[in-house]
Amino acid sequence: MKTGSREIIKKFENAGKAFDILKTISVTKRAAMFKKLRQEIIDNLDNIVSVICKETGKVKIEPLSSDVFPSLGTLNYFMENLEENLKEKTFKSDGDTCKVKYKPAGAAFIIAPWNFPFLLAFVPVLNAVAAGCSVILKPSEITPKTGKIIEDLFRKAGFPRHTVQCVYGGADVVQTAIRQKPARVLFTGSTKAGKEIGKLCGELLIPAVLELGGKAPVIICADADLQRTANAVAYGAFINNGQICVAMSRVFVDAKIKEKFVKFLLKNAANIKLGRDYGKLAQPERIPYLKALIDDAVRKGAKIIFKGEKSEEFLSPVILDGVTPEMRIFREECFAPVLCLKSFTSEKEAVALANDSCYGLAASVWSKDLNKAEKIADLLNAGSIGVNEWIKGVADPGLPFGGMKDSGYGRYHCEEGVRFFSGKISYLISESKNTSEVNWLPYEPEMYEDFKTVIMLLLGVKKMSSKVSKSLSKLEHRMKR
Average pLDDT score, the chain: 96
pLDDT greater than 80 at residue 375: yes
Residue 300: per-residue pLDDT: 98
Q: What is the pLDDT of residues 9-24, one digit of tens each?
A: 999 999 999 999 999 9
User: Over pLDDT 90: what percentage of the chain?
Assistant: 92
Mean pLDDT of 421-433: 96
Angle between helices 466-478 and 447-458 (to 10 degrees): 110
Strands (E) across 41-106 are located at 89-93, 96-104
Residue 89: per-residue pLDDT: 97
Residue 309: per-residue pLDDT: 72
Catalytic machinery residues:
211, 245
Q: Which of 71-75, 284-288, 422-426, 453-457 is predicted with the least confidence, judged by mean pLDDT?
A: 284-288
Q: Which DSSP state fits 357?
A: S
Query: What are the two backbone dihedrals, phi and then psi, of residue 364, each rounded to the nearest 5 degrees?
Result: -150, 155
Strand partners, 307: 318
Residue 310: per-residue pLDDT: 66
**Rounded to the nearest 5 degrees, what angle is found at the Cα of 108, between the Cα atoms of 132 and 187?**
130
Residue 417: per-residue pLDDT: 98
- 361: nearest Cα among 322, 415, 405: 405
**Rounded to the nearest 5 degrees, what angle is found at the Cα of 459, between the Cα atoms of 457 and 465?**
15
User: Over pLDDT 70: what percentage of the chain?
Assistant: 99
Residue 295: per-residue pLDDT: 95
Tally Cβ neighbours within 10 Å of residue 436: 13
Residue 278: per-residue pLDDT: 81
Q: What CA–CA distances, in Å, run from 372 to 193, 224, 363?
A: 38, 11, 15
Tally Cβ neighbours within 10 Å of residue 7: 15
Contact between 165 and 11 (Cβ < 8 Å): yes
pLDDT greater than 70 at residue 266: yes
Ordered DSSP codes for 174-232: HHHHHTT--SEEEEES-HHHHHHHHHHHHHTT--EEEE----EEEEE-TTS-HHHHHHH
Q: What is the pLDDT of residues 289-342, one digit of tens each?
A: 999 999 999 999 999 999 987 655 567 899 999 999 999 999 999 999 999 999
pLDDT greater than 70 at residue 245: yes
Q: What is the pLDDT of residues 219-237, one digit of tens each?
A: 999 999 999 999 999 999 9
Contact between 122 and 137 (Cβ < 8 Å): no
**Rounded to the nearest 5 degrees, what angle is found at the Cα of 96, between the Cα atoms of 93 and 100?**
75
Query: What are the two backbone dihedrals, phi and then psi, of residue 437, each rounded to the nearest 5 degrees?
Result: -120, 160
Residue 280: per-residue pLDDT: 79
Q: What does pTM read for this prediction?
A: 0.95
Contact between 269 and 308 (Cβ < 8 Å): yes
pLDDT greater than 70 at residue 345: yes
Tally Cβ neighbours within 10 Å of residue 36: 14
- Say if strands 208-211 and 408-409 run parallel, antiparallel, or are unpaired: antiparallel
Tally Cβ neighbours within 10 Å of residue 378: 10
pLDDT greater than 90 at residue 276: no
Q: What is the pLDDT of residues 176-211, one digit of tens each?
A: 999 999 999 999 999 999 999 999 999 999 999 999
Residue 1: per-residue pLDDT: 80
